[in-house]
Structure 1
Amino acid sequence: MPAIARRTRDPADRFSYLVHHCEGEAAQAIRRCSVMEPEEGYAGALLIVERRFGDLHIIATTSIEELTEGPTLKADDHKALISLADDMMICSATLKQLQYPNDLDSCRNIGAIVARLSTTMQTEWFNLEAKSFKFKHDPTFDKLANFISDKVDAAAAQTVYTVGPSYMRPQSNPVRLQPTHIPLYKAAFLTTQIGNSRSGQVRLPVNCAQCGSSHYLDQCPEFV
């Protein structure tokens, strides 16, 4: 089970989120519930807020506005996307506890959150929901939160398993033979030596490169 799923069902986290959205006297009043067991303290804090400080709908509205109002998040800003997915999960748990689940799945709220995503992520979300529309399934707040969380996990996995240039096998460079320039008279001598080295009894004829006679080039009267 993902860590975020466990955390959103934790009454202690819900209590912390409730304190975060209260100010002044309200925050001081519900902090007294922190000495109680988490589940009991969270339920007691909700009762205090409702009795002493007005309608819980204000808390629900404030929770959603913090998600719908904000800057556009870049696709590679993993920290901001993780924070958004976590806040959405906690907001979902809080509003369900406040019995305002319908506020979560409104098209306006979902659309406002999607508008904060990058163009690439928006396109992927719309393509995903287009398939759901065929089966008459409306998009949900929780589904969008899971979508954002999955995209962050996929990006993290890609970073881990992507092979960089330093890990790629280097290409072997072919060795090019340098041309050897041998003077003509040395070429004739070399030819003779090769023949003698391969067989002690076979002697290759020597032809002068200058006049074509059977002597070395340096012995040719025309060359000298």
Structure 2
Amino acid sequence: MIGVGKIKQYSNVLDKPLSKGKQEVSSSAFAFLFSELVQYNQTQVDNIAELERRLEDAGYAVGARVLELLCHRDKGNRRETRLLGILSFVHSTVWKVLFGKVADSLEKGTEHEDEYMISEKELLVNRFISIPKDMGTFNCGAFVAGIVRGVLDGAGFPAVVTAHFVPMEGQHRPRTTILIKFGEEVLRREARLEHGNFNDLVKAIIATLVDVKYTISLHPNSFDLGQDELS
């Protein structure tokens, strides 16, 4: 007779294993929950900018936790240290965990070196949202922008992250673009990492030349070639 195994009970959610398991959630359930989040915050503010800021703050907390989970479960507590690495991590790994797919596109800004854009034709938080005319350009994508900022900030890549609607030719609904503008310290660190080995080589060459010049100044005759040596 085959006995039926007992399912282990956990008294605390933090005691549960961090295995991937089944991650799918009903889109209607999420839409209802997110709608409640938006409506609650709407009662706490006086303008659209403040509402988007509150949604971004809520997303930031989610992003920080997503980073901790993924780094512990998938990377053995290792984190990305390069700019393109963390962007790829957000564009693919984080997006898959949150939305079940990689983002539609990841692009670098053409006007500014510190800007990158992640775009979605139908971002989940905007898919079932109907924005009243009196709310103007209100974008629920601010919640996702907060998630991205939480991930980047936790990984050591501070940035200003905002959500924008971008009209698409032939499409009724605009796409959502998450604009990432990294801090100057991130770009300086990336430049040091990118050119670190080259800079070390240059410094070594300069140090060698300085030593040679100093030696020549002390013993100029030792570096003169006589006529016999030239013939």
Q: With structure 2 as the length reference, what TM-score do the two structures score?
A: 0.30
Task: Please state which structure has a larger fraction of its residues in strand.
Answer: 2
Structure with higher RCO (Cα < 8 A, 6+ apart): 2
Indicate the structure (1 or 2) with the bigger Cα radius of gyration: 1
Q: With structure 1 as the length reference, what TM-score do the two structures score?
A: 0.30
Task: Please state which structure has a larger fraction of its residues in helix.
Answer: 1
